[in-house]
Amino acid sequence: MRCCVSHTAPHFDWSILQPDYTPACSSDFEKASQVTGVHSHAIAADAASAAEHTRRHIAVRLLPFVFVLYITNYLDRTSVAYAAIGMARDLGFDDRVFGLGIGIFFLSYVALQIPGAMLAQRWSARGMICATMIVSGLLTALTAIVHTPAQLYLARFLLGAAEAGFFPSVIVYLGHWFIQEDRAKATSNFMAAIPVSLVIASPLAGWILSHNWFAIEGWRWLFFLEGIPAILLGIVAFCFLTDRPGQARWLTADQRQWITGTLEKEKPLSRHSTSIGQALRSRTVLLLITAAFLQYFIGYSVIFWLPTILKNRSGLSDAQVGLLGAMPYVVALFAMLFNGWHSDRNRERRWHAAAPLLIAATGLLCLTSLPSSNVMSVLLLSVICMAMAFLPVFWAIPTEILSDSKAAVAVGTINALASLAGFAGPYAFGYLRAETGSFVAGFAVLIFCALAAGILMLLTPAAQSRGLKSVTST
């Protein structure tokens, strides 16, 4: 008998060696990915919130203080015109003495702009800001003791040298703290101090000038009282400001790491050292110098001649001219703030720098062609002063399109050479008025400057940096 042997393999349940497992279907993977996506969005939202908090914290701490510093620093530009009234009466100084006194300020101011910017970049922006505030405050106060034209020239020359490093140092300082998205807005908040100081200086200087305390002439009190706040604020700035985010104890470690990393990513790719000669051979730097010179030519001409223009066209009293003369600067203040904000929001620079100049050209053209009235004069002068809205956007450009070393040199070079317009503009405008007997020729020159500067800004190259594709340009 043959046995039948079964060839069926014995069955072994391998599942006892494994944990319970149910094969996953596609819907399970979709749920898992959705959960992962939710977590990713939450992390991204937290990071964005932390970044926004850091940016706001930096702005709230630094901008109001720097704003007050610039108001104090800039008061001398307008108050000296009021002091001239008292000095002419008490010391017998004529227009030629005051003209040279104003001009000699810009000679030393221009000469030390570039060294000031380089010191700020290589040594300490905070140190330069503090030093310029204290020294310029002392020299402003000492101007109160002048008795001769030579003493006035010396005081103004030294004051120009002392103030030269302040502006480029602040521009460099803002570049150390604000990312590109916020830089024009930060610069506009800083430079809004210019119209604010112009609004404040006129009535304040007029009031001080009318008082002779302790038998001391009002114009001497004006210089003295202008200098004291600058000295005190310079001392406070040394304790309050911090050079770099990495040194800021008022930021958390995460905040310091984020702002430092973001600023590093936004730096231009080219980082080789640059001399002044190399900067001047750069087409971009020369373009920016020319555009800034033309805008400064307009700005200083308007600042020094606006009261005379308004007085001539309106026939109002000096007090009324002082009050109405502040209105164009109020308009300029809001224009600067809005233009800086809108430029950052749209990540665009060139058109935002050109538009205020083209608007100012329109105002100048209307001022020469439309019938004169008090309301129309103030309105058109306000339109012309909107050219100041060019400034915050313009000064955000060098640090975005140039390397660190070239930007530091360029900022000083641009402001230095452009500041020559501080002498050329008011002098040329006054010369044309004296020769022709009217303001029309001067207005024609300013129209040309506004149009040319606007066109040049449209030729400025767009920014390219690591971590940021470009600043949107039209």
- pLDDT band for 138, please (50, 70, 90 cuts): very high
Q: Comparing 58-266 with 272-474, is the CATH topology the same?
A: yes
- The CB-side HSE value for 358 (13 A sphere, CA atoms) comes to 11
Phi-psi region of 467 (alpha: psi -120 to 50; beta: other; left: phi over 0): left
Residue 364 binned pLDDT confidence (cut-offs 50, 70, 90): very high
Model pLDDT, residue 48: 77
According to the model, what pLDDT value does residue 303 have? 83
122: its two tokens:
């290589």
Q: Which of 236, 273, 240, 242 is nearest to 259 (CA)?
A: 242
Q: What is the mean pLDDT of the chain?
A: 80
Element (H, E) at 358: helix 350-369
Confidence check: pLDDT of 247 > 90: no
- The structural domains of the chain, with segments of one domain joined by +, span 58-266, 272-474
Q: Is 215 left (phi over 0), alpha (psi -120 to 50) or beta?
A: left
For residue 18, what pLDDT is reported? Answer: 42
Q: What is the pLDDT, as a whole number, of residue 82?
A: 72
> Which of 73-82, 140-149, 331-340 is least confident?
73-82
pLDDT reading at 463 higher than 50: yes
The per-residue pLDDT for range 269-287, each reduced to its tens digit, is 555 555 667 667 778 889 9
pLDDT confidence of residue 172: 87
- Is residue 443 predicted with pLDDT exceeding 70? yes
What pLDDT, on the 0 to 100 scale, is given for residue 398?
84
Q: Tens of pLDDT along 20-42?
A: 444 444 455 355 455 555 556 66
Express each pLDDT in 184-207 by its tens digit.
Answer: 778 767 777 888 888 888 778 777
What mean pLDDT comes out for the span 204-212?
Answer: 80
Predicted pLDDT of residue 6 = 39
Closest listed residue to residue 193, CA positions, set 66, 307, 102, 81: 66
Q: Which residue has the higher pLDDT, 271 or 72?
A: 72
Distance in angstroms (rounded) separating the CA atoms of residues 321 and 139:
30
Q: How confident is the model at residue 91 (pLDDT cuts 50, 70, 90)?
A: confident
pLDDT surpasses 90 at 296: yes
CATH of domain 272-474: 1.20.1250.20
Residues 368-427 pLDDT 10s:
888 778 888 889 999 999 998 998 889 888 878 776 666 767 777 887 788 889 888 877
Question: DSSP state, 465?
Answer: B
Place 474 in a pLDDT band, splitting at 50, 70 and 90.
Answer: very low
| The pLDDT value given to residue 133 | 95
Most confident region among 45-59, 126-140, 359-373 by mean pLDDT = 126-140
Distances from the Cα of 95 to the Cα of 83, 146, 191, 327, angstroms:
13, 17, 30, 27
Residue 298 is predicted with a pLDDT of 93
Cα separation of 424 and 441, whole Å? 15
> Could you give the C-alpha distances from 382 to 8, 312, 357, in angstroms and in order?
103, 17, 13
Q: What is the pLDDT of residue 448?
A: 96
The residues near 424 (Cβ < 8 Å, ≥ 6 apart) are 297
Query: Confidence band (pLDDT; 50, 70, 90) for 44?
Result: low
Look at residue 3 in the predicted model and tell me its pLDDT.
41
Give the Å distances, CA to CA, from 258 to 47, 263, 426: 10, 9, 46
pLDDT recorded at residue 53: 85
Residues in contact with 157: Cβ distance below 8 Å, sequence separation at least 6, in sequence order: 104, 105, 107, 108
Q: What is the mean pLDDT of residues 68-94?
A: 80
Residue 468 has pLDDT above 80, yes or no: no
User: Which pLDDT score, from 0 to 100, does residue 191 have?
Assistant: 74
**Which tokens hold the place of 303?**
């600042």
User: Hey, what CATH topology would domain 58-266 get?
Assistant: Growth Hormone; Chain: A; (1.20.1250)
Q: Does residue 332 register a pLDDT over 50?
A: yes
Pick from 84-88, 193-197, 364-368, 425-429: least confident: 84-88
The band of 118, judged by pLDDT with boundaries at 50, 70 and 90, is confident
How far, rounded to the nearest angstrom, does the alpha carbon of residue 231 sit from its chain's CA centroid?
22
Q: Which residue has the higher pLDDT, 128 or 326?
A: 128
Report which of residues 462 and 361 the model is more confident about. 361
Is residue 155 within 8 Å of residue 175, measured between CB atoms? no
